[in-house]
Amino acid sequence: MPLASRALRRAVAAATTALLATAVGCAPQPEEKAADTPSGSAATTCAKGKLATETSGKLTIATDEPAYEPWFKDGKPANGEGFESAVAYAVAKELGYDKSAVVWQSVPFNKAFAPGAKTFDFDVNQVSISDERKKAVDFSSGYYDVRQAVIALKDSKAAKATSLADLKGLKLGAQVGTTSLDYIDDVVKPTRDPAAYAKNDQAKSALQNGQVDAIVVDLPTAFYITAAEVTDATIVGQFENQGGTPEQFGLVLDKGSALTSCVTDAVDTLRENGTLAKLEQQWLSDAVDAPVLK
């Protein structure tokens, strides 16, 4: 029965084709799946002004209180003055948020990079990027290369130090949780336990009251302290960067934040187009070279 067989085969083939077409039509298509994936392309995830922020349409930026100069001006992060305030608004602009869309939040220094969910989109507060901190939070690329410096009262023995060896026998102090304190422990390796303070203000008071011989802060802060706050103090010197890699401040984000790559791209753009250098010159021009302690 050749005719019947051929007819049967044609019928089976037609049915199979129809079933395959239906199956393909119902199956997820690679193109559509890619378009729906949250990780998507940078153009999609970093759409200006439409990021997955804490508050829709707003960018929440955190820093400590009080907000110190030269990083901020008059203790008011929202005024756009001071290096870090200016950097924060420049990053916001790159992300598509104007000044009116930026909301500031007060977060203590140590809490900014402690484990746990964050209530901000990013934090700007002279937080140095480190492998240890990266275990708990994300960082943007660095927006400032920094060195640590030693401050002592002008008429003190500590003010005459010219080397790391001269610092070893001194009582040194720094803010807790900072790379300033790390430099005391890891670079100076003093014979006396260093004093750790919750705030730089407390470290400055300890210096003025003779409770410590010297304190360690970042270099721009050292210039501001000696010029405007503790005028009878002087910068003894600065430390060399360790391991050949410059210490850098980075913007802090929640661990695994969807904004990390977007914020990093913004910082990189500001570096490449000269904005960071311009802001550094404007707000940190006094932070010139100081003697290097070896």
- Residue pLDDT, tens place only, 117-162: 999 999 999 999 999 999 999 999 999 999 999 999 999 999 999 9
Confidence band for 287, pLDDT divided at 50, 70 and 90:
low
Cis amide leading into 28 (omega within 30)? no
For the chain, the average pLDDT equals 86
Residue 217 bridge partners (DSSP): 149
Residue 292 bridge partners (DSSP): 238
Confidence band for 242, pLDDT divided at 50, 70 and 90:
confident
Report the pLDDT averaged over residues 185-199.
96
Is the pLDDT reported for residue 164 higher than 60? yes
Is the pLDDT reported for residue 227 higher than 50? yes
Least Cα distance to 196 among 169, 176, 211 occurs for 176
Is the pLDDT reported for residue 10 higher than 50? no
Q: Provide the 10 A C-beta neighbour count for residue 268.
A: 16
pTM for this structure? Answer: 0.78
Is the pLDDT reported for residue 5 higher than 60? no
Pairing mode, strands 233-239 and 292-293: parallel
Is the pLDDT reported for residue 243 higher than 80? no
Q: 4-25: b or e for each residue (b if 16 or more CB lie within 10 Å)?
A: eeeeeeeeeeeeeeeeeeeeee
Measured at the alpha carbon of residue 275, what is the angle toward residues 283 and 113, in degrees to the nearest 5?
70
Reduced DSSP (H G I as helix, E B as strand, rest coil) percent helix, strand, coil of the chain, to 5 = 45, 20, 40
Q: Can you list the positions of beta strands (E) in the chain?
A: 59-63, 102-106, 122-123, 137-146, 148-153, 172-175, 195-197, 214-218, 233-239, 247-254, 292-293
- Residue pLDDT, tens place only, 203-212: 999 999 999 9
Asked if 251 contacts 122 with a C-beta cutoff of 8 angstroms, the reply is yes
- Residue pLDDT, tens place only, 67-107: 999 999 999 999 999 999 999 999 999 999 999 999 999 99
pLDDT at 240: 86
Question: SS3 of 15, please?
Answer: helix
Alpha carbon distance 275, 277 (integer Å): 5
Is the pLDDT reported for residue 1 higher than 50? no
pLDDT at 291: 86
Alpha carbon distance 246, 42 (integer Å): 28
Is the pLDDT reported for residue 14 higher than 90? no
Is the pLDDT reported for residue 54 higher than 80? yes
pLDDT at 275: 98
The CA-based diameter of the chain, rounded to the nearest angstrom, is 117
Alpha carbon distance 47, 167 (integer Å): 51
Is the pLDDT reported for residue 11 higher than 60? no
Tokens of 70: 């030269």
Report the pLDDT averaged over residues 233-261.
91
**% residues pLDDT > 90 (the chain):** 79
Q: Provide the 10 A C-beta neighbour count for residue 31.
A: 8
Asked if 127 contacts 136 with a C-beta cutoff of 8 angstroms, the reply is no
- Residue pLDDT, tens place only, 20-46: 333 333 333 333 333 333 333 444 489
